[in-house]
Amino acid sequence: MDGMIEFCRSPPACPCRAGGGIGHNGAAMRLSKLIAPDLERILETEPGQLEEALSEVHAEDVAQVVCELPPERATEFTRALPAQMAADVLERLPEDLRVHIVEALGPATSAELVSEMDPDDRADLVAELPDKVREELLAEVEQQEPGIAQDVRALAAYDEESAGGLMTTEFLALWPELTVSEAIDEVRVATRERDLETIYYLYVVAYDKLVGVLSLRDLILSDGEKRLATVMTEQVVSVPADTDQEEVANTIARYDLSALPVVDQHGKMLGVVTVDDVVDVVIDEATEDAHMMAAVVPIEESYLQTGFVDFLRNRITWLIVLFAGELLTASVMDAYEAQLSAVMDLMIFVPLIISSGGNSGSQSSSLIIRALALGELAPRDWPKVLGRELAMGLALGLVLGLVGFARAFAGHGINNPAAMGMTVALAIVGVVTMGTLVGSLMPLAIKRAGLDPAVSSTPFVASLVDVFGLIVYFSIARMVFALAL
Amino acid sequence: MDGMIEFCRSPPACPCRAGGGIGHNGAAMRLSKLIAPDLERILETEPGQLEEALSEVHAEDVAQVVCELPPERATEFTRALPAQMAADVLERLPEDLRVHIVEALGPATSAELVSEMDPDDRADLVAELPDKVREELLAEVEQQEPGIAQDVRALAAYDEESAGGLMTTEFLALWPELTVSEAIDEVRVATRERDLETIYYLYVVAYDKLVGVLSLRDLILSDGEKRLATVMTEQVVSVPADTDQEEVANTIARYDLSALPVVDQHGKMLGVVTVDDVVDVVIDEATEDAHMMAAVVPIEESYLQTGFVDFLRNRITWLIVLFAGELLTASVMDAYEAQLSAVMDLMIFVPLIISSGGNSGSQSSSLIIRALALGELAPRDWPKVLGRELAMGLALGLVLGLVGFARAFAGHGINNPAAMGMTVALAIVGVVTMGTLVGSLMPLAIKRAGLDPAVSSTPFVASLVDVFGLIVYFSIARMVFALAL
């Protein structure tokens, strides 16, 4: 029995991470570390026993063992597994290892495993393969199980990060004319004969169009003679196939759904996205955004699994761009050098002032980026955002400006405390307001341009504000000191 | 029929957000905006018709309408709803409005609604109430449905952000001696008589201890005469009640579960956390981290719903702390003023150098914070992290240092290009390495201290690095120029 594995599969997670393992009766342990030596021994001495040895182990833990093996051993191991377990394990391996194993197993064996996979996971795997390997595999699949290859091609046409890319095409469609008793029989037969990912919601379809939904519980509780048309809920929450995965996740979260039907532009039902797939989406999107917002090109594997060179590449790219932008601060400083030597005290407050702008800017940018990700805001809301952030910037700037004034006015050894205090205070108001405006409007503009607003990272906003903040500071200083002298 | 609502409820989300609404047959529309006037009219002229009018509307959309009403109207509206719908709506309202409505409805009516709620949502709601209101309500609940009040008190004892706080106590427990046919009958009866949140996994319990799990599908496909003990999977993934919600979410995601049993220290089964609750947890945690990492005290409501004063408070708190820290840069600059006036060119590169440290530091801190949130890293991994980030800091610093050297060496008007170039290059290597070390080790230390590592925000790391970065820069300058002169 492997009920859990059969019951809810999902797109490949990356299993090679620290921690993990089954917590049996509450005791968490690193199962993969414990079972790895045993499994390796069985594989070497009596590979026929592997099936029995694994009957009580979750595919996730087996995958963890496999992905810590060298690629050749991993292939051998996968080959020795029963087909269903091998398919479940394959789904969970990192992309490069998975591709290696499929190639090494050859089209005949791989086709068998691929046929055991869920439609959505199958399509993802096939999409990763080199063209030649993919065509050989699909030809073999077509021979073994006609129809699957076509299904794979149809699913592969959708963007991987859209509702179409997430959905499974294995769902149970019932007709509005069926009685409740007939529908229960249909569910029973379908559960036996087909590999359905979800039977908690049953969808009612007329001429291919999605017209209603009901839960298994509704079915069990309803009068057996009634027609589905009278029992079903007609208001079905559904999304078009090209809906972005983030919006899919937000819809499922908002309505607390365990599955969400996907339709085409005519309302024809195409498939179902299940909530367990969405948990992975939400986690991955949050990780991607966290990395992007700190100006790191998002990494695919876990922190400890990512190679040093990959990491270096993903970090240095943005650092060089930011550094190039930040070089402008040297030019600005250079341009104002005469002014700085005339009033040496100005220099003292440079880091304080530019950092104030950077900090208020990163607050705004992450608030807006997150609100966009949650669907709370859209680019068309910019006038509201502009109004709020302008007021916020002025308010924050005034508070910080007052503190700045006190420091500059009271600082010992300051030559012209009043002028210096005024300059610092005004500059802080200006720079903080600039920070909130740049930080909030930039993500909206980037989203409007069709890009991911998270590229408007904290360091990116801070660099922009640094350069312009210096110009604001020195311009204010020029005016104040001209008046003061 | 409201199958979806009955079938999977979850803790209160905040419904007052932009967008949303049911996308029927793929067409997204703001349903709440469309239905609000109709519902208000019905409420005024023929409140008895409300039940029929709402039979096809999702509780989420009704909640959206309710939370845009003034509190008195919202109370009136909730009172007019059928009890089950009112309970579903109440779960979805923001905390303050919910508390207002419960108080305004009085203990008798509120007790009726509370009894209709899921155990986990009920416990959350009751926990929010003022002491006096809570006791009156629980006394009334005890009268209407004995047992519920005790259950609420038991659930309220768990931390809201732990497995115990997330779980529902309404689950179906079967015995290992039951046959498959008997178990199917149990499921049928339980579905009719009790308000179960999930029947997709069935848990097998012996002497209160969780000993196995099987899916409804396993049950349907198994031989009716077999005993559950022979059909069930004995390796059950479970967590102790005090497990943090983030780890609960990671466990569910890793094993692709749709429900996770919660046990006490003796393996006694206490309840079940369902995957739809976990989607909300994952989204909320990601939002909280995104805000904290940008030095904003996390906001509870959506961006547009949060009041200006609340926002100001949540932003200014950290800005003042950061500003106070950043004031130290002025003191450092002041201390080195003599050196700066001797070598005016040093000044030009101040913003460039401190921002390099800040940027590399924010990269490290967000990578580590995210890895901690996903359970990929633990504080005990600090030696590995130290090694990697030290090497990374040196590598990043060398690349950026070379560019910095070129700029300083080639900059026109620089008095001592070689010494200036050396100073800038060495300072960048030092500051960038300091950034990666502070950014990576700080979150680990904070986590070790039992706090949320996300407080080690980007601006916080940047401020620290600014202050020490200036000291590094000026110290290097002193040495280089002493050698050069």
As a whole number, the mean pLDDT across chain A is 84
Identify the weakest region by mean pLDDT among A353-357, A468-472, B330-334.
B330-334
**Of the candidates B340, B445, B440, the residue with the CA atom closest to the CA atom of residue B389:** B440
Within the 271-290 window of chain B, which residues sit less than 8 Å (CB to CB) from chain A? 275-276, 278-280, 282-283, 285-287, 289-290
Measure CA B108 to chain center: 34
Residue A264 has which token pair? 């085409």
Q: In A, which residues are within 8 Å of B289 by CB distance?
A: 286, 290
Share of chain A above pLDDT 70, in %: 91
Residue B407 has which token pair? 């700029």
Chain B contact for A3, CB < 8 A? yes
Starting at the earlier edge strand, list the strands of the sheet with A259-263: A239-240, A259-263, A269-274
Which residue has better confidence, B39 or A59?
Answer: A59
Instruction: Name every residue whose Cβ is closer than 8 Å to that of residue B176 and which is 6 or more positions away in sequence.
Output: B204, B206, B211, B212, B227, B228, B229, B232
Report CB contact under 8 Å: B329, A351.
Answer: yes
pLDDT, mean of residues B291-319: 86
Q: Where are the domains of chain B?
A: 3-157, 173-275, 308-484
The predicted pLDDT at position A385 comes to 94
A28: left (phi over 0), alpha (psi -120 to 50) or beta: beta
Q: Rounded to 5 degrees, what angle do the CA atoms B338, B342, B345 make?
A: 115
pLDDT > 60? residue B20? no
Residue B459 has which token pair? 């601006």
Report CB contact under 8 Å: A344, B367.
Answer: no
Report CB contact under 8 Å: B23, A413.
Answer: no
The predicted pLDDT at position A276 comes to 82
CA–CA dist A411, A419 (Å, integer)? 13
Residue A379 has which token pair? 């680019």
Cβ proximity of A208 and A189 under 8 Å: no
pLDDT > 70? residue A333? yes
Identify the weakest region by mean pLDDT among A429-433, B54-58, B255-259.
B54-58
Highest mean pLDDT of the ranges B131-135, B166-170, B402-406: B402-406
Q: In A, which residues are within 8 Å of B320 by CB distance?
A: 399-400, 403
Chain B contact for A20, CB < 8 A? yes
pLDDT > 70? residue B28? no
Cβ proximity of A344 and B341 under 8 Å: yes
pLDDT > 90? residue A361? yes
**pLDDT tens track for A289-300:** 888 888 888 887
Q: Rounded to 5 degrees, what angle do the CA atoms B76, B78, B83 make?
A: 135
pLDDT > 50? residue A1? no
**pLDDT tens track for A438-463:** 999 999 999 999 888 888 788 888 88
The DSSP secondary structure of A337-351, one letter per residue, reads HHHHHHTTHHHHTHH
CA–CA dist B374, B247 (Å, integer)? 8
Q: In A, which residues are within 8 Å of B28 by CB distance?
A: 239
Count of helices and strands (H, E) across chain A: 23, 8
Give me the residue label for tokens 């919202």.
B74
Q: Which residues on adjacent β-strands are paired with residue B263?
A: B240, B269
Question: pLDDT tier at A81 (50, 70, 90 boundaries)?
Answer: confident
Give me the residue label for tokens 């155990």.
B119
CATH class of B3-157: mainly alpha
CATH class of B308-484: mainly alpha
Amino acid letter for position A211: V
Identify the weakest region by mean pLDDT among A31-45, A267-281, B287-301, B345-359.
A31-45
Residue B267 has which token pair? 């393996």
The predicted pLDDT at position B17 comes to 43
Residue B295 has which token pair? 């030095």
Chain A contact for B60, CB < 8 A? yes
Measure CA B436 to chain center: 26
Report CB contact under 8 Å: B24, A459.
Answer: no
CA–CA dist B28, B21 (Å, integer)? 7
Measure CA B17 to chain center: 17
Nearest to A25 among B1, B263, B350 (CB): B263
DSSP letter, residue B162: B
Relative orientation angle of helices B275-293 and A275-293, to the nearest 10 degrees: 10
Instruction: Name every residue whose Cβ is closer than 8 Å to that of residue A292 and which is 6 or more positions away in sequence.
Output: A298, A452, A454, A455, A457
- CATH number of B173-275, picked from 2.40.40.20, 3.30.930.10, 1.10.1060.10, 3.10.580.10: 3.10.580.10
pLDDT > 70? residue A286? yes
Phi, psi of A468 (to 5 degrees): -75, -30
Q: Rounded to 5 degrees, what angle do the CA atoms B258, B262, B267 make?
A: 130
Nearest to A2 among B233, B290, B363 (CB): B233
The predicted pLDDT at position B375 comes to 84
pLDDT, mean of residues B192-197: 70
**Of the candidates A281, A254, A279, A261, the residue with the CA atom closest to the CA atom of residue A160:** A281
The predicted pLDDT at position A342 comes to 83
What does the radius of gyration of chain B's CA atoms come to, in whole angstroms?
A: 30
Chain A contact for B21, CB < 8 A? no
Cβ proximity of A227 and B16 under 8 Å: no
pLDDT > 60? residue B11? no
Residue B380 Cα distances to A278, B245, B432, B452, angstroms = 31, 21, 24, 16
Is the ipTM, as predicted for this complex, more than 0.90? no
A·B CB contacts under 8 A? 505
**Of the candidates B32, B306, B311, the residue with the CA atom closest to the CA atom of residue A377:** B306
Residue B199 Cα distances to A209, A261, B145, B240, B263, angstroms = 28, 21, 24, 21, 18
A159: left (phi over 0), alpha (psi -120 to 50) or beta: beta
Starting at the earlier edge strand, list the strands of the sheet with A173-174: A173-174, A201-206, A209-215
Identify the sign of the CA torsion A190, A192, A193, A198: positive
Instruction: Name every residue whose Cβ is closer than 8 Å to that of residue B466 and which is 6 or more positions away in sequence.
Output: A351, A355, B326, B329, B354, B357, B358
Question: pLDDT tier at B170 (50, 70, 90 boundaries)?
Answer: confident
Q: Which CATH architecture has domain A173-274?
A: Roll (3.10)
Query: Could you tell me whether strands B239-240 and B209-215 are parallel, antiparallel, or unpaired per DSSP bridges?
Result: unpaired
Identify the weakest region by mean pLDDT among A214-223, A350-359, B100-109, B127-136.
A214-223
Identify the sign of the CA torsion A95, A96, A99, A105: negative
As a whole number, the mean pLDDT across chain B is 84
The predicted pLDDT at position B243 comes to 93
Measure CA A327 to chain center: 33
The predicted pLDDT at position A226 comes to 92
Say whether pTM exceeds 0.90.
no
CA–CA dist B350, B348 (Å, integer)? 6
**pLDDT tens track for B436-461:** 999 999 999 999 998 888 887 888 88
CA–CA dist B41, A61 (Å, integer)? 57
DSSP letter, residue B13: P
CA–CA dist A331, A327 (Å, integer)? 7
pLDDT > 80? residue A25? no
DSSP letter, residue A162: B
CA–CA dist A313, A405 (Å, integer)? 43
DSSP letter, residue B168: B
Task: Centre a 10 Å sphere on the Cβ of residue A397 and count the other Cβ atoms it contains.
Answer: 27
Cβ proximity of B172 and B186 under 8 Å: yes
CA–CA dist A339, A347 (Å, integer)? 10
**Of the candidates A214, A471, A248, A220, the residue with the CA atom closest to the CA atom of residue A353:** A471
CA–CA dist A459, A192 (Å, integer)? 55
Shortest distance between the Cα of B40 and any Cα of chain A, in A, equals 20
pLDDT > 70? residue A203? yes
Share in percent of chain A as helix, strand, coil (round to 5): 65, 10, 25
